[in-house]
Amino acid sequence: MSAPADNRPAHTIVPPSGWPLPDLRELWGYRDLVYFLARRDIAVRYRQTVIGAAWAIVQPVAFATVLGLFLTLFGRVPTEGVPYAVFALAGMSVWLFVSGSLSSTATSTVASSALVRKVYFPRLVIPLAAIIPSIVDFLVALVVLFVAMAIFGVAPSGNIVALPGVFLLAVLVAFGAGLWLSALVVRYRDIQHVVPFLVQVGLFVSPVLYQLDLIPERFQAVYSLNPMVGVLEGFRWAVLGTSPPGELLLIPLTVGALLLISGLVFFTRAETTFADEV
């Protein structure tokens, strides 16, 4: 049953030093664990809440409706002719994905402390598995969005071919930031409380419920440093055919790539002491 004797060690354990790189090959070997952990989170969530799967639908619709009513009453928001309900729903579906995955990845390492203390596996599996339920929620929200577009008579734009690319940008930003937070939370528990605050503020400093054009021209450059600006403008351009984001997309790409690479390195260095700290 066991393989013939091979006198080279399968793995060598040495004291951690410097800035190690993640072992992506080993991580690939654990892809099934990512799948089963994500599946557990999805299954448990839907079995424990009364409305279950409907949650992924109710959340963006409720947000968009309430905020839509509010903004319709207190001032008109320019939307390039798109019905505001559809406009807001589009923004909300992306925003709920980013904020949801940020919160779940950030707390994932501490939430998995029981596993981390008892068994070895590449720790990167944890944040990776944590982001998947948010991706599933996003896909449900996307369907809701298309239904709303059909109801309000908005045809999807031809730019929709770019949708996967724009969504990948959102994943890049959310996962990069989530990776950093998940490693930091192990050492500094109060980071957990920073995340909801970040999410709340983010909703208003990102063009979720309004367009970038609403920001005075001279502030737009600074405002656009927020990587969510490019992602949201890009998403509405792809789905609703609003004005193209152009080079705005480079900001989430650059910021996301930097966050992801630095996050991977930081996480890999931090993970060696997870079991002693969680």
Partner 1 sequence: MRSDPALRVEEIGKRYWVNRERPASTLGEALTRSLTRRPGRRGSGDEFWALRDISFELSRGEALGLIGRNGAGKSTLLRLISRITAPTTGRIFAFGRVATLLEVGTGFHPELSGRENVFLNGAILGMRRHEIQRKLDAIVEFSGVSAFLDEPVKHYSSGMHVRLAFSVAAHLESDLLLVDEVLAVGDADFQRKCMGKMQHVAGEGRAVVFVSHNLNAVQRLCTRALLVESGRLEMDGAPGAVAARYLERWGPAQTGGTAVIGDEVARVGDGRARIRRVTLTDLSGTELTAVHFGQAFRVRMQIDVFEPVPEAVFEVGIASADGDRLATAQSIDAERPTTPLAPGAHAVEATLRMTLLPGEYALTVGVHRRNGITLDYVEGVLGFSALNVAESGSDHYPWRGVRGYIRPDSVWSAPVAADPPPSPAIR
Give 217 or 276: the residue with its C-beta nearer to partner 1. Answer: 276
Give 72 or 262: the residue with its C-beta nearer to partner 1. Answer: 262
Query: Rounded CA gap, 148 and 17, in Å?
Result: 54
Residue 96: both structure tokens together: 């709920």
Of 95, 118, 91, 110, the closest CA to residue 209 belongs to: 91
- Contact present, 107 and 179 (Cβ < 8 Å): no
Residue 33 C-beta: closest distance to partner 1, Å = 4
Give me the residues that bind partner 1 (CB under 8 A), please: 1-3, 5-16, 29-30, 32-33, 35-37, 39-40, 43-44, 47-48, 114-121, 184, 187-191, 194, 272-273, 275-276
Residue 137 C-beta: closest distance to partner 1, Å = 19
Q: Is 12 exposed, middle or buried (0-12, 13-18, 19+ CB in 10 A)?
A: exposed
Residue 59 C-beta: closest distance to partner 1, Å = 21
The helix-helix angle for 84-111 and 227-240 (nearest 10°) equals 130
Give 29 or 78: the residue with its C-beta nearer to partner 1. Answer: 29
Residue 147 C-beta: closest distance to partner 1, Å = 30
Query: Rounded CA gap, 152 and 134, in Å?
Result: 26
Give the end-to-end CA distance of the chain in Å, rounded to a whole number: 37
Residue 27 C-beta: closest distance to partner 1, Å = 13
Give 126 or 162: the residue with its C-beta nearer to partner 1. Answer: 126
Query: Rounded CA gap, 41 and 224, in Å?
Result: 34
Residue 100 C-beta: closest distance to partner 1, Å = 20
Give 111 or 135: the residue with its C-beta nearer to partner 1. Answer: 111
Of 57, 92, 77, 60, the closest CA to residue 206 belongs to: 92
Q: Is 153 exposed, middle or buried (0-12, 13-18, 19+ CB in 10 A)?
A: exposed
Looking up tokens 């690319």, which residue turns up? 165
